[in-house]
Amino acid sequence: MTKDLTSGNPMRLLLGFTLPTLFGLLFQQFYNMVDAMIVGKLLGAQALGAVGSTGSINFFVIGFCLGVCSGFAIPVAQKMGAKDYPQMRRFVANAAYLSALIALALTVATGVFCRDILTAMDTPTDLFEDANAYIFIIFMGIPVIFLYNLLASVIRSLGDSRTPVYFLALSAGLNIVLDLMFILLFDTGVAGAAIATVISQAVSGAACLVYMVKKFPILRITREERRPDWDACKGLCAMGLPMGLQYSITAIGSIVMQTSVNALGSVYVSAVATGGKVYQLLACPFDAMGAAMATYCGQNVGADRLERLRPGVRSCALLGLGYSAAALVGMIFLAPQFAMLFLNSNEPGLELLLGLTCQYIITQTVFFFPLALVNILRFSIQGMGFGTFAILAGVLEMAARTVVGRFFVPGIGYTAACFASPAAWICADLFLIPACLGCIAHLRRRNPTGTLETISKGMVKIKPAKA
């Protein structure tokens, strides 16, 4: 059930790993897509705008959860590559303990301050109650978000990118049924869409847990390995917290941007919300490439196959370039059709709304290759063991979005909002490109013959090779 990424053609390995991961991400996006499509079609653009207005704060909190889970899996991948299975299982057990604690703290905090956050973001009054109902329920589902994403990240770190997809496919179908049931039969409005999403993710997480226990003998943890281990927790936090903070720091810029868009009015909020759903769907391959590179680099660093790092990064960048070109061509011709997946043809002011949405979609896709590099390089660096660099890249993205949101959107308007994310991606790349090359050179220079060991600071410590 596991896959070794430390030998073989990097392009072939990465493509084989990325495709199943991509399908999993598409199913995960399917949750949000179905919510948006059903809300937009059945409840109208205003309800869709309410859901969309929570996107940045959703990314701030849920993005932290996803980043932490991805970071916790990197030491697992490194120990998998080194074939140190007892320590690998200790990391898995302690990752579960840490995830439970973080999930509990986040659920309580977001539940208490949900309305205050939406008020601080200047959420339009006509969208406020629906926005609060939706995001509050999503926040109450943080434990099941941790459940699925931690298990899926661990399984992927072992080289198996297919298994989580099957359970996401099952829960995606369940999500559709529950969406329709709650909204049409029980008349729960946008809250029903959130309830359906949480229940569906809980099902996928539970199914993933049962399957992992039964089908992965390599993960059967002994009583000794199950004990809390302070050193393991420090190593996990050194990788997981920087990745989680990187998402949250990036999201701060998105929150500033969302606040500026909110001030433009409901039609612009709805346009960004609709365009954002299309963008999230189109950007899934980049997330899959990032997940592949984290596992690829983690395993190869753990196995001391440092000569494979640069070819792997180069191969994945070529995949990103090819997809970016294809996505741009597709959206030039099909942006209106994609936008109408989420809009009602009888919506008042549809022509204006559709035009604004297409402008947003095409602007994002023009700059897709810089986005590809952000994901590929950031996750490669993290897989190598330099997790703190993720925070620096996130700070640059936050700064770019904040500058555009605070100074350009009020003066220029909606067009400036469309360029906020591309500006953030370019700023991050200006740091990540030399950082990634520097990390590879550092590892090769520091460790020409030795073996590597990840330590609690998230960096790399050299252990002399035994004679």
DSSP string, 343-404: S-TT-TTHHHHHHHHHHHHHHHHHTHHHHHHHHHHHHHHHHHT-TTHHHHHHHHHHHHHHHI
pLDDT at 464: 38
- Asked whether residue 304 is domain-assigned, the answer is yes
406 CB burial (10 A radius; 0-12, 13-18, 19+): middle
Q: With respect to residue 5, please indicate whether it lies within any of the assigned structural domains.
A: no
Comparing C-alpha atoms, which of 284, 270, 285 is closest to residue 342? 270
Domain annotation covers residue 237: yes
Tell me what pLDDT residue 85 has: 87
Q: What is the amino acid identity at position 215?
A: K
Name the DSSP letter for residue 413.
-
The domain total for the chain is 1
Within a domain: 453: yes
- Other CB atoms within 10 A of residue 353 CB: 20
Residue 208, domain member (yes or no) = yes
Amino acid at 315: S
User: DSSP state, 218?
Assistant: G
Token pair belonging to 462: 């050299």
Q: What is the pLDDT of residue 267?
A: 85
- Whether residue 347 lies inside any domain: the answer is yes
How much is the pLDDT for 66? 87
Number of residues written out for the chain = 467
Range of 288's domain? 10-463
Burial class (CB in 10 A: 0-12, 13-18, 19+), 95: buried
Domain assignment of residue 432, yes or no: yes
pLDDT of residue 32: 63
Rounded CA separation 401/257 (Å)? 6
State how far the Cα of 329 lies from the Cα of 332, in Å rounded to an integer: 5
Q: Is 4 within a domain?
A: no
- pLDDT computed for residue 34 by the predictor: 67
DSSP 9: -
| Cα angle: 313, vertex 318, 323; to 5 degrees | 125
Identify which of 285, 404, 266, 388 has the alpha carbon closest to the alpha carbon of residue 14: 285
Distance of alpha carbon 420 from the chain centroid: 19
Averaged over successive runs of 10 residues, the pLDDT of the chain (467 residues) comes to 75 84 71 69 76 78 88 85 87 94 95 90 83 92 93 83 77 84 85 89 88 84 88 88 80 78 84 86 89 87 89 94 95 91 76 91 96 94 82 85 88 90 93 93 73 39 38
